[in-house]
Amino acid sequence: MIAVIDYKAGNLTSVMKALHAVGADAVATSDPNVVLQAEKLVLPGVGHFSATAFLDEQGLTNAIANRVQAGYPFLGICVGLQWLFEGSAEEPDAAGLGAFSGYCERFIDGMKVPHVGWNSIQVRESRLLKGVANGEFVYFTHSYRAPVVNGTVAVTEYGLPFTAAVERDNIMGVQFHPEKSGPVGLQILKNFVGLP
């Protein structure tokens, strides 16, 4: 079972629909006990970084950290990817998981924000992005960007380069929306769902 963590940030309908379309047994939940029994975790999220405070309040942060440490696959989407870093300038008081070093920053002045639309990605060898060609297009919508780090497996550029996907062991994240990125996005979700 895949637990899709509902932390009341935006709607989960699209993510659930896409996971079901690739054959996943996915359930939406805010219950730490369900998270502790899940074989895989997805942390979606469109909205404000401050919404991640809900994870602490509900005891979800500990449950997620527990599962991640035990090696169960985790996929953060959009704000869910940003949460894997140490924090975000969007809400300096809310800490991220800190699985990757660095902080998320707003896009530089002079760029239209949010960064909305289809942008191409430069990819490197990755289990999550298996079968995704270099230069393929995916759909983004966000106002903050994660830094490029050791675990970065896809980069894109809007004013400056930023992380489009990270992967270290079974900890994975995408800044774009695979559930809205056509066949390429579904391939990525399928790769995640198919992880052992």
Partner 1 sequence: MTLTKRIIACLDVNAGRVVKGVQFVDIVDAGDPAELARRHAEAGTDEIVLLDITATHEQRGTLIDTVERTAKHLFVPFTVGGGIRTVEDAAAIFDAGADKVSINSAAIARPELIGEIGSRFGAQAVIVAIDARRAKSDGDPVADAEVFVSGGRKPAGRKVLEWAKEAESRGAGEILLTSMDADGTRTGFDCELTARVSHAVRIPVIASGGAGTAEHFADVLLQGKADAALAASIFHFGIANVRELKEAIAKRGVPMRLPC
Residue 13 binding partner 1, by CB under 8 A: yes
Choose one: 33-41, 53-61, 82-90, 180-188; the region binding partner 1 (CB under 8 A).
180-188
The 10 Å Cβ neighbour count of residue 17 is 11
160 by DSSP, 3-state: which?
strand
Q: Where is 158: in which H helix or E strand?
A: strand 152-158
User: Do 54 and 42 touch, CB atoms closer than 8 A?
Assistant: no
For residue 36, the minimal CB distance to partner 1 (Å) is 28
Kindly identify the residues of this chain, within the stretch 128-167, that bind partner 1 according to CB under 8 A: 133, 135-137, 139-143, 155-158, 161
Residue 30 binding partner 1, by CB under 8 A: no
User: Do 122 and 156 touch, CB atoms closer than 8 A?
Assistant: yes
Nearer to partner 1 among residue 101 and residue 112 (C-beta): 112
Q: Which of 20, 39, 78, 167 is catalytic?
A: 78
- Cα–Cα distance, 69 to 17 (Å, whole number): 28
Residues 6 or more apart from 63 whose CB is under 8 A from it? 32, 33, 35, 36
Residue 122 binding partner 1, by CB under 8 A: yes
- Cα–Cα distance, 108 to 84 (Å, whole number): 22
Please report where in the chains the tokens 């991220």 appear, as a residue.
96
Nearer to partner 1 among residue 13 and residue 37 (C-beta): 13
Clarify whether 78 is annotated catalytic. Answer: yes
Clarify whether 104 is annotated catalytic. Answer: no
The 10 Å Cβ neighbour count of residue 135 is 9
Nearer to partner 1 among residue 36 and residue 113 (C-beta): 113
Residue 103 binding partner 1, by CB under 8 A: no
Nearer to partner 1 among residue 71 and residue 131 (C-beta): 131
Residues near partner 1 (CB under 8 A) are 9-11, 13-14, 17-18, 21, 46-48, 112-122, 133, 135-137, 139-143, 155-158, 161, 179-186
Q: Which residue numbers are catalytic? A: 78, 177, 179
